[in-house]
Amino acid sequence: MRSGKLITLEGIDGSGKSTQAEKLLDYLKGKKIKCKLLREPGGTDVGEAVRHVLLAAAGEGLSMNPLTEYLLFAASRAELSRTVIKPLLERGSVVILDRFGDSSTAYQGYGNGVDHDFIIHTNVIATGGLKPDLSLLFDIDPETALARPGDFNDRIEKRGLEFFKRVRKGFLTIAGQEPDRFRVIDASQGIETVWEEVVKYVDGVLCERVSER
Ligand code: TYD
């Protein structure tokens, strides 16, 4: 039985979601709510090793077939979902997850042409059907993201603005298909304005958790 909540944060590189993930962790800890912040790819020994392969390949400009890339992300996701996330949710924890399956649909699917249905289907298998209770999409146009300071700039420049435009559009399409699960936040606003929206949506989901008890 799952009594916890899974909250995923999604968006293109430079959308500021990792800053909001940290703020959310502090906020929940302050309320004495059992919580854990995890990131994808990573979060397990296998996942961190896969992350190293993927990010090193991206950084060194090694060519990798998009399907291979997707399967590596999915492998990391399978390990994290089954060995870490599921047990945490069963113990009643709130899990904040910096990226999940929707990143694969957006980046490898919309961005790099891997079949969307294949990704969605295999994501369900990899995660054992794990579905977020809430997914926050930090939406920003790639030009604005690129103008922000951070090491993601290199990544955006390497893959090109057109790639990130497809990824952004992909995220918006995915969010539009599941309006009950997704909340789209304008991530070009200031950190505190974005944060106010994050709190509003997260409090909404946590209220359900209390009233379910
Ligand atoms: P990371 O340094 O974690 O960036 P961020 O803070 O933006 O999440 O790097 C993760 C990179 O991997 C990022 O460019 C998005 C990409 N990615 C995919 O392409 N597919 C996926 O399924 C996931 C989880 C990430």
Task: Find the CATH number of the domain harbouring 46.
Answer: 3.40.50.300
The range of the structural domain enclosing residue 21 comes to: 5-211
| Residues whose CB is less than 8 angstroms from the CB of residue 87 and which lie 6 or more positions away in sequence, other chains included | none
Per-chain mean pLDDT for the chain: 92
DSSP 143-207: HHHHTS-STHHHHHHHH-HHHHHHHHHHHHHHHHH-TTTEEEEETTS-HHHHHHHHHHHHHHHHH
Q: Tens of pLDDT along 105-158? A: 999 999 999 999 999 999 999 999 999 999 999 999 999 998 887 776 666 667
Where do we find the tokens 């690129």?
Answer: 146
First to last CA, the chain: 13
Is 95:89 a contact under the CB 8 Å cutoff?
Answer: yes
pLDDT digits over 67-114, tens only? 999 999 999 999 999 999 999 999 999 999 999 999 999 999 999 999
pLDDT computed for residue 148 by the predictor: 84
Q: Taking a C-beta distance cutoff of 8 angstroms, is the pair 80, 36 a contact? A: no
pLDDT at 213: 47
User: Which residue, judged by its Cα, is nearest atom 5 of ligand 1?
Assistant: 13
Lining residues, ligand 1, CB within 6 Å: 13, 18, 39-41, 73, 98-99, 103-104, 107-108, 152, 155
Q: Which of 103, 156, 157, 168 to mutate to test the pocket of ligand 1 (most atoms within 8 A of CB)?
A: 103
Report pTM: 0.94
Q: What is the pLDDT of residues 49-76, one digit of tens each?
A: 999 998 887 767 677 899 999 999 999 9
Nearest alpha carbon to residue 6 among 194, 202, 176: 202
For the chain, how many structural domains are there in total?
Answer: 1
| Cross-strand partners of 94 | 5, 35
- Output the CA angle 202-170-107, nearest 5 degrees: 95
